[in-house]
Structure 1
Amino acid sequence: MIYIIAVLLIIVTFLITRLFYVERGVESITKQLIDINENKRDKKLTIGLLSKRIEALAEEINRIIQVKKQSKANKIKSENDLRQTIANMSHDLRTPLTSIIGYIQFLKLDNISEDEKKEYLDIAEQRAKSLECLLNDFYELSLIESLDYELYLQKININKILQEVMLSKYADFMNRDIRVNIEIPKENIYIVAEEKSLERVIENLLSNTVKYAKDTVDICLKIENNMVLLRISNIDKDLTLDDAKHIFDRFYMADKTRSDKGTGLGLAIVKGLVQKMNGDITADIIDKTLNIYCKFQIIKS
């Protein structure tokens, strides 16, 4: 009987001790959470217990804290991106708009000839068209990036689309004395895409290449790792690794290209459309050569 009582006392003592440590652990978690919430501290819970369940609870709370921290960081980045986008758009709108206003003021002068008036009108019209292009691109990008913007995806022959767009750009390449090396398989390759969006993607990529390529452009279409890969490469000694990292950002252009060459939205539109077609697009620079890789889901014929 005494043995049984002794065993019971040991068990009760153990349970009371364990309960005490559990309560201290819960109290510690509560105090840390209050401190984190009230003082906006950026830290995780620290706890050491014999109770695996309490430890698991603390780990889950830490995961929630990490998600909240990441969400806050994403919100800050999104706000910064929005401010930068507005600043960039304001800059790009102001430039042609200021020019148009300037030439209109010139046209009001009494001592200018008819030839000068025609010249000023032509320049103002060119600036107005560049302004229209910027607004159209920005509007299109805003549509593409909206959550409810959907594409009609279907089976598309990418060989056919690539060849058609290449033919439409042939004169542009020739006018700049750019040699184009094309590697396209003889057999047709089918992907999941929308025809007009795929045309826009390839057209924007080739237009970008026409503007900035030095002398040679390599275009390769192939199947790789059960995906369709379209690679477009051109030498550009002025680009850096940082340029490749940000090349698909809205309004991003290297300093040397902030001119009338473009709006800085063409590749951002490309990225948005490729992602809407469940594809992927990346870029890198190897030996002064800019490589852009588009990957699409393949459809087995």
Structure 2
Amino acid sequence: MSKLSTRLFNRISLPFYFSISIFFIFLITVVITGLLFYLAQVFGLLNEEIAQDGIVLPVVILMACTIIGTTISAITSKKMLKSIRMFIEATDRLAGGDFSMRLLLKSPPEFKILSENFNRMAEELGGIEILRSDFVNNFSHEFKTPIVSIKGFAEILKHDDLPKEERDEYLDIIIEESARLASLASNVLELSKIETQMILTNKQRFNVGEQLRQCVLLLAAKLEKKNLSIKVNVQDDHISGNKELINQVWLNLLDNAIKFTPENGIIEVGMKRNEDTIDILFRDNGSGISAEALPRIFDKFYQQDTSHSTAGNGLGLAIVSKIIHLHAGTIVCDSKPLQGTSFIISIPIGL
């Protein structure tokens, strides 16, 4: 059945269902009333005077039809009212926070569609609630840890007999943790801004190849610090988008590659033009990502390193994913433990 036929069927099915129901109620009412009057005549309960009376007989028939019709209507509507009560109860439970509630209404077709839509809504709300809970828990952890660290080392620095070397070491830790807090606040605000952005603004056409080369130069100091080699194979090509947001994507991915690549490792940045898109590749020969962690790398605050010993707050890839999807693009990660990680970003040439 085509989509148009299905849509047309769904539109007429409920009115048709009610029309058939009313028709059968009238039919059954007439049949039962006729049968009762026939039996009354057979058993002599209906004499000729009543049968020939122009007022009494119609009144008796009307009363009989009303009583019988009302009874049949009450019985047949009980099932439909039961479905409506089930829906009301389900919405009450859903409003109360029970996202496990599901409906299994089968007929009429509209009720089945209503049931499916309700179940999908409950599932989505349940997922959002889990994400919200995880976000609050993870944010609390990421926010509390540096504050506790800063407070502890600040208390130690109050001691006058502390050697200068230790004092400098603790001050460096406080500075590092303060920078981590500032980065966390900045990333949360940036992610919040991007998530609420439905339409891409400040679009312009720019040279993405030149932008990639500039990002490599910006992080040259980090590359030299770990003695990393980088192979850049990009050409001058233009795309349309938000230049500032796209720049964040390249910096995040390149910074991640530097962070997780061991000393003397190799990082590769590549570029390929297709008919309607441009593919950008970031590849490293670092520690890689486990199969269990791979599906969650774009989740907010998720970090494969549960000890949080690696610098970061788990928001970088979430921001990258949001920006890429805002540009109608795609991002794919391919990684295996101890075999490195590859990110391939595909962005439309024109938006």
TM-score tier after normalising by the smaller chain length: 0.7 to 0.9
Deviation of residue 96 (structure 1)?
1.2
**CA RMSD for the aligned pairs?**
3.0
Q: 1:222 to 1:201 in 2, by over 3 A?
A: same
Matches within 5 A, 1:10-159: 19-20=23-24, 28-38=79-89, 42-47=102-107, 58-147=108-197, 150-159=200-209
Other-structure match for 1:299: 350
AA aligned to 1:202 is W
Question: Tell me, what secondary structure is at the counterpart of 1:255?
Answer: coil
AA aligned to 1:38 is E
Q: 1:17 to 1:99 in 2, by over 3 A?
A: closer
Matches within 5 A, 1:194-205: 194-205=242-253
Deviation of residue 206 (structure 1)?
0.2
Gaps of 5+ in 1: 1-14, 48-57
Identity %: 23
1:144-190: CA deviation from partner (whole Å, max 9, x where unpaired) = 112467531121221111111122223322332333233324xx322
Q: 1:238 to 1:158 in 2, by over 3 A?
A: closer
Q: How many residues align?
A: 274
1:46-81: CA deviation from partner (whole Å, max 9, x where unpaired) = 34xxxxxxxxxx334322322222222211211211
AA aligned to 1:19 is F
Other-structure match for 1:262: 312
Q: 1:260 to 1:241 in 2, by over 3 A?
A: closer
TM-score w.r.t. structure 2 length?
0.69
Deviation of residue 200 (structure 1)?
1.0
C-alpha separation in 2, matches of 1:223 and 1:26? 64
Q: Is the deviation greater in 244-253 or in 66-75? A: 66-75
Q: 1:148 to 1:184 in 2, by over 3 A?
A: closer
Deviation of residue 262 (structure 1)?
1.0
C-alpha separation in 2, matches of 1:219 and 1:115? 41
Q: Is the 8 A contact 1:245 1:283 kept in 2?
A: no
Deviation of residue 105 (structure 1)?
0.9
> Which of 310, 317, 322 lines up with 1:272 in the alignment?
322
Deviation of residue 257 (structure 1)?
6.5
Q: 1:21 to 1:206 in 2, by over 3 A?
A: farther
C-alpha separation in 2, matches of 1:132 and 1:281? 27
Deviation of residue 38 (structure 1)?
2.9
C-alpha separation in 1, matches of 2:185 and 2:199? 19
Deviation of residue 276 (structure 1)?
2.3
C-alpha separation in 2, matches of 1:216 and 1:21? 80
AA aligned to 1:290 is T
TM-score w.r.t. structure 1 length?
0.79
AA aligned to 1:68 is F
| 1:165 and 2:215 correspond | yes
Deviation of residue 273 (structure 1)?
1.8
Other-structure match for 1:227: 277
Deviation of residue 211 (structure 1)?
0.2
Q: Is the 8 A contact 1:231 1:291 kept in 2?
A: yes
- Which has more radius of gyration? 2
Question: Tell me, what secondary structure is at the counterpart of 1:239?
Answer: coil
Q: 1:237 to 1:111 in 2, by over 3 A?
A: closer
Gaps of 5+ in 2: 1-18, 27-72, 94-100
> Which of 228, 250, 258 lines up with 2:300 in the alignment?
250
